[in-house]
Chains A and B, each alone.
Chain A
Amino acid sequence: NAGVTQTPKFQVLKTGQSMTLQCAQDMNHNSMYWYRQDPGMGLRLIYYSASEGTTDKGEVPNGYNVSRLNKREFSLRLESAAPSQTSVYFCASSDLSYLAQYFGPGTRLTVL
Chain B
Amino acid sequence: AQSVTQLGSHVSVSEGALVLLRCNYSSSVPPYLFWYVQYPNQGLQLLLKYTTGATLVKGINGFEAEFKKSETSFHLTKPSAHMSDAAEYFCAVSDGPNDYKLSFGAGTTVTVRA
Residues of A within 8 A of B (CB): 4, 31, 33, 40-45, 48, 50, 58, 90, 92, 94, 96, 99-106
Contacts and interface: CB of A to CB of B under 8 A. Distances in A.
B106 A99 contact: no
Interface string B78-114: 0000000000001000100100111111110000000
Interface residues of B, number: 24
B53 interface: no
Interface of B: 4, 9, 32, 34, 36, 41-46, 49, 51, 90, 94, 97, 100-107
A15 B105 CA distance: 30
Contacts of A106: 41-43
A41 B90 CA distance: 11
Contact of A105 (B36, B42, B94): B42
Contacts of A102: 46
A4 B44 CA distance: 11
Contacts, number: 53
A103 B49 contact: no
Interface centre among B36, B49, B100, B104 (most CB of A within 10 A): B100
B59 to A, nearest CB: 11
Contact of B90 (A4, A43, A48): A43
Contact of B44 (A58, A94, A103): A103
Contacts of A42: 4, 90, 104-107
A41 B4 CA distance: 11
A90 B43 contact: yes
B14 to A, nearest CB: 25
Given A40-B106, A41-B106, A43-B90, A103 B100 contact: no
A99 B94 CA distance: 10
Contacts of B46: 100-102
A102 B104 CA distance: 14
